[in-house]
Structure 1
Amino acid sequence: MYGVGTSWVHNSFLAIGDISSEVSILVTALFVLASAVIFMGVVAIIQAIWVRLPRFVQTGEKAYTLSFSVSKESRRYSALGTALGWIAFEIVNTLMVSDIAFPWLQAGYAFIDTWLVGLATVGGVALVSFFVLVTAIALYRIQRIRIFTMVLAIFPWLLGIGLINVPWTQPIEEKEIVLVQSNLSITEKLAADGFTQSWRTQTRLSMEEVGADFVIWPEGALPTTLSSEVKDSLYTLAAHTRASMIVGMFGESMSENYEVVLHNIAVGVSKFAPEYEEYKKLKMAPFGEKIPFEPILGPIVRWLDIPIRSIDSGIEAQDNMVLDGVNVGVTICYEIAFPSYIANRSRGAEFLVTLSEDGWFGNSIGPAQHMQIARMRSIETGRYLARATTKGISGIVNPKGRIISTMPANERGVVRGTIHTMEGETWFVRYASKLPGWIWGAFAVLGGGFLSAFAGVLGMLFLRRFVSTANDASDSDEDAEVEGATEEEDAEIDLRMTAE
């Protein structure tokens, strides 16, 4: 799973520059191995706990006892324990410390174009993943308990159809959005004339789209730090295009140790007045923007001569941007993979914006995966989402996760489309995304226990019916055998009497 699904990590290390292919392959292999070991470890632990959960075992006709042993009955539903372990890993991976969090390959993302995706409006991608696994288990066991497994396999899909069509959020007004995709490589942006080339390319594309309400440039669109000169230039452009702007670049601030630290930021510029909003990226990509567990892994990274520049995180309590009266929930790149964080940013927001630099992925499956993840966030939050990237895939997504306007990767141009600002909240945003991780885990175990108990009850009913039928058939066979034996004995007696 990780070997294929995160193969783009190799491209990302090569894109950093000054890294040999051998070192990149080694680091990627270690990353895949570590991810797989953590995944298997969590699944194995949850399954081991699951099969040892206390169960009432029948010891007589009307006698039951509480058992903690691994029984034949518990092994029968061990696959459900595997599913619970899988989901526990997915949930923990979105809630753990950002140094090592990597919530990328959730099973639910692969089913975003199916009926099952409607469940994301109430439980997020984790609930979709859970019922994907439940469906797989049901299909695997379909020959053993047919009616129950058929119901278990079909019901979530039918429920998903209903949930995706619930009007969780309501439109307010139309807005015209323009996304600029410069198709400049990372090397071009970091060159000596990188700022000039980036400014000219994106300015020209923006000025061709006069009349939009918002013009959005991608993450790191300007390879420079925010200054008063840059602010003035952006306001002049916003006033000329008559569009508010959101632009990705870098910012600097003073740390507690009085050191200048770098931030990955998005700047909002009003078209009516020189007023600016700022958002600092909170969740850093491991090894891309920050070395996780610096005291331990830092020396290894430096020994391998991997040029990673540490970027400082923003604070979690950041207000949304308000541009020309519109509340915009802005996030940057890797943050889109965190369901609860995006749900938090969507509260009060009328539409969502995510800026990304997907040039790090190279020509891999990474950009397509990233867009797929962004589409899931639209469904979970019931919001339109505008995704601006440097090299693609840029696009506008509606609240049902459908791409309404896009541009392929590795092309230069703009994506233009109409969105609706939205109000209201999905059940996931209002309730589920606020739950702490341990409560999610409890729900998973209790939900799994309910399914297991339900399966056990139905299984016992079917088993009793089968046993009853088998016993009746057996009794009939025994009666026939006895009857036959009696007739044979009578015949033998008659023969002996005749012989005498």
Structure 2
Amino acid sequence: MERLAGRIILLWGWRRALTAFLAGALAVLSQAPFDFFAVCLVSFPVLVWLLDGATSAPAGPMRRLMPAFATGWWFGFGYFLAGLWWIGGAVLVEADSFAWALPLAVVGIPALLALFYGLACAVARLVWSDGIGRIAALAFGFGLAEWLRTFLFTGFPWNAIGYAAMPIPLLMQSVSVVGMIGMNALAVFVFAMPALLASQRHLRLGVTLAALLMAAHVAFGYVRLNAPVEANGENLSVRIVQPSIDLSEKWDAEVRDRIFRTMLDLSGAPEQEGARPQLILWPETSVPFFFTERPDALVALGDLLHDGQTLIAGAMREEGASTGSDARYYNSVVAIDAAGEIVDAVDKLHLVPFGEYIPFADLFASFGLSQFVAGPMNLEPGNERHPIALAGGAKALPFICYEIIFPALVAVDLASTDIIVNVTNDAWFGDTPGPYQHFRQAQIRAVETGLPLIRAANTGISGVVDPRGRIVDALSMNARGVLDAVVPLVRQDKQMFWKHSVNGLVILFFFGAIAAGLGLGQRLRPN
């Protein structure tokens, strides 16, 4: 092992960049749908050894950190390129118009995201030391970078490293204590520990700490999964509709009636079991027209729904067109009652840059650039999110598409929420790892919040997840059908999210303090 580490430390030029790239690409196998987390026990030690050799001639502090930054960037570029290549499918839905943007989607996004991992390695190298100190430094750097990735430049915390440590419900429960902030730092700390095998320095301490952390991770999961979920005595019967509509037809005016009829037929099919559903859930933008243009559609929905039923449907919403002013468009969910009336609506707050809106639109317009994926128009963000009151009294908090991947966003209004609802249209990405990764992150939000989650996706994966992250039932990718389920509502700690966020920050800065202390001690130690 010492010989291997030495060869990696001494790599230079393109060989160093390629090794970092391949180590990052290998680490993607730890994410859904592969869930082979053991690869991180190879990828991160390689990264540690590469950073051991990331030195430069004495110069200014920024120049001294550039080799470490470059190593982290190549690692991140491999990780995000291998993990997000499927984003390119979105721009190929209408290839005649958007194929030019394929390199920007497939290569440009990973290149930008890799900057965060470059930063992680540069920060770690600031407090680098021998032995376990550099493992703590890397954990702090990556934990900080993953936290920044949740909000900088609109945020995109997809495939955070911490998800690699949570492939099954048994291993998801720790996130309810330390949140994603803590999981990201702890996962890197354990994944990087085999790097100590090369030098033997602090090896016994490192093996002991890693073993204790993994044992605690498994034991806590076992105890929590076997502890009863405290129900509040109420159930919510739901029907999730997965229509599997071809995106090439999505905005085709000639087939809108057929699409809507498909939604009605699936929603009105005989119940598979149990009582009539109190909530019927349709995916994102599943209504193929504006209700303002088709009031007859609301009549049809009123005929479909019975007393005590609520439909939550993804729909495009229009404002301002009837007043003669410039129309504004929103990606929304609307709640419709048995009278065929829209009783509530929640607009998507966190829009997809270049997919649903153009940041710095005037600047990009001067270069002739518009949104990069097929769709009817540029959208406006909503103003606020609130739970939707259902006919039976339960309250559902809706999240549209990738809003569900943002832990802090999902924490809003938990005090008055009984169930989390996620509607999406992952048909943009076909049968690739993307929809599986998206579903996994939704699972983790259920564990973090302690609330059940129901999810409707156009082509999948639609399903019901309990407050411990267990999949109660789900529809497979590209299936057309409905899923009926009875979801027990639970009592939960309304402040859970903020508690585990604080715990996660404590862990993150603990690693930072340990790394800084050991690094400073090594610098002050006489030669």
Which category describes the TM-score, using the shorter chain as reference length?
0.7 to 0.9
Is the radius of gyration larger for structure 1 or structure 2? 1
How far did 1:250 drift? Answer: 0.8
Aligned to 1:465: none
**Separation in 2, partners of 1:360, 1:398:** 27
Unaligned segments of structure 1, at least 5 residues: 52-71, 460-500
SS in 1 for 2:150: helix
**Separation in 2, partners of 1:370, 1:452:** 36
Q: Are 1:368 and 1:393, in contact at CA under 8 Å, matched by a contact in 2? A: yes
Aligned to 2:485: 417
**Separation in 2, partners of 1:374, 1:345:** 17
Q: Given the superposition, is the C-alpha separation of residues 104 and 34 from structure 1 closer, same or farther in structure 2, using an over 3 Å criterion?
A: same
Aligned to 1:189: 250
Q: Are 2:91 and 2:98, in contact at CA under 8 Å, matched by a contact in 1? A: no
**Separation in 2, partners of 1:192, 1:299:** 31
SS in 1 for 2:305: helix
Aligned to 2:135: 79
Aligned to 1:144: 201
Aligned to 2:177: 122
How far did 1:163 drift? Answer: 4.3
Question: Which residue of 202, 205, 217 maps to 2:282?
Answer: 217
**Separation in 2, partners of 1:118, 1:46:** 29
How far did 1:402 drift? Answer: 1.5
**Separation in 2, partners of 1:102, 1:251:** 25
How far did 1:229 drift? Answer: 4.2
**Separation in 2, partners of 1:103, 1:16:** 27
Aligned to 1:160: 217
Root mean square deviation, CA, Å: 3.2
Larger mean Cα displacement after TM superposition, 86-95 or 448-457? 448-457
Q: Are 2:90 and 2:373, in contact at CA under 8 Å, matched by a contact in 1? A: no
Question: Which residue of 220, 242, 267 maps to 1:206?
Answer: 267
Larger mean Cα displacement after TM superposition, 112-121 or 384-393? 112-121
Q: Are 2:451 and 2:490, in contact at CA under 8 Å, matched by a contact in 1? A: yes
Question: Which residue of 426, 437, 446 maps to 1:378?
Answer: 446
**Separation in 2, partners of 1:448, 1:195:** 56
Question: Which residue of 61, 76, 90 maps to 1:12?
Answer: 90
Aligned to 1:135: 190
How far did 1:430 drift? Answer: 4.0
Q: Given the superposition, is the C-alpha separation of residues 230 and 50 from structure 1 closer, same or farther in structure 2, using an over 3 Å criterion?
A: farther
Question: Which residue of 346, 358, 361 maps to 1:291?
Answer: 358
Aligned to 1:474: none
How far did 1:46 drift? Answer: 1.8
**Separation in 2, partners of 1:17, 1:423:** 48
* TM-score, length of structure 1 as denominator length: 0.77
How far did 1:146 drift? Answer: 3.7
Aligned to 1:40: 117
Q: Are 2:334 and 2:342, in contact at CA under 8 Å, matched by a contact in 1? A: no
Q: Are 1:263 and 1:311, in contact at CA under 8 Å, matched by a contact in 2? A: yes
**Separation in 2, partners of 1:277, 1:306:** 29
How far did 1:20 drift? Answer: 5.7
How far did 1:243 drift? Answer: 2.8
Aligned to 1:481: none
SS in 1 for 2:258: helix
Larger mean Cα displacement after TM superposition, 228-237 or 321-330? 228-237
**Separation in 2, partners of 1:17, 1:404:** 38
Task: Give the count of matched residue pairs.
Answer: 428
Aligned to 2:55: none
SS in 1 for 2:176: helix
How far did 1:33 drift? Answer: 1.7
**Separation in 1, partners of 2:458, 2:256:** 14
**Separation in 1, partners of 2:434, 2:156:** 14
**Separation in 1, partners of 2:368, 2:185:** 36
Q: Given the superposition, is the C-alpha separation of residues 443 and 257 from structure 1 closer, same or farther in structure 2, using an over 3 Å criterion?
A: farther
Aligned to 1:494: none
Question: Which residue of 395, 398, 411 maps to 1:343?
Answer: 411
**Separation in 2, partners of 1:400, 1:306:** 35
**Separation in 2, partners of 1:363, 1:253:** 35
How far did 1:350 drift? Answer: 0.7
**Separation in 1, partners of 2:171, 2:473:** 24
Q: Are 1:10 and 1:28, in contact at CA under 8 Å, matched by a contact in 2? A: yes
SS in 1 for 2:192: helix
**Separation in 2, partners of 1:109, 1:153:** 17
Question: Which residue of 331, 339, 343 maps to 1:276?
Answer: 343
**Separation in 1, partners of 2:355, 2:84:** 14
Q: Are 1:122 and 1:427, in contact at CA under 8 Å, matched by a contact in 2? A: no
Question: Which residue of 512, 524, 527 maps to 1:448?
Answer: 512
**Separation in 2, partners of 1:402, 1:307:** 34
Q: Deviations over 1:38-73 (max 9, x none)?
A: 22332134224434xxxxxxxxxxxxxxxxxxxx55
SS in 2 for 1:263: strand
Q: Deviations over 1:214-254 (max 9, x none)?
A: 111000011222335444432332228x6321111011224
Q: Are 2:98 and 2:372, in contact at CA under 8 Å, matched by a contact in 1? A: no
How far did 1:149 drift? Answer: 1.5
Q: Deviations over 1:409-433 (max 9, x none)?
A: 1111112222111222276424345
**Separation in 2, partners of 1:272, 1:229:** 13
Question: Which residue of 355, 358, 361 maps to 2:426?
Answer: 358
**Separation in 2, partners of 1:447, 1:402:** 31
How far did 1:196 drift? Answer: 0.7
How far did 1:88 drift? Answer: 1.3
Aligned to 2:72: none
**Separation in 1, partners of 2:371, 2:356:** 17
Aligned to 1:484: none
Unaligned segments of structure 2, at least 5 residues: 1-78, 523-527
* TM-score, length of structure 2 as denominator length: 0.73
Q: Are 2:138 and 2:189, in contact at CA under 8 Å, matched by a contact in 1? A: no
Q: Deviations over 1:367-388 (max 9, x none)?
A: 1111111111111111111110
Aligned-pair identity in percent equals: 23
**Separation in 1, partners of 2:332, 2:371:** 29
Q: Deviations over 1:285-320 (max 9, x none)?
A: 12211123324444446289866632110013x321
**Separation in 1, partners of 2:364, 2:431:** 28
SS in 2 for 1:118: coil
SS in 2 for 1:239: coil
Aligned to 1:469: none
Alignment of 1:295-306 (within 5 A): 295-300=362-367, 302=369
Residue 171 (structure 2) pairs with residue 171 (structure 1): no
Q: Deviations over 1:163-206 (max 9, x none)?
A: 44446963222222211011111122211233212211011111
**Separation in 2, partners of 1:455, 1:155:** 24
Q: Given the superposition, is the C-alpha separation of residues 239 and 361 from structure 1 closer, same or farther in structure 2, using an over 3 Å criterion?
A: same
**Separation in 1, partners of 2:324, 2:358:** 19
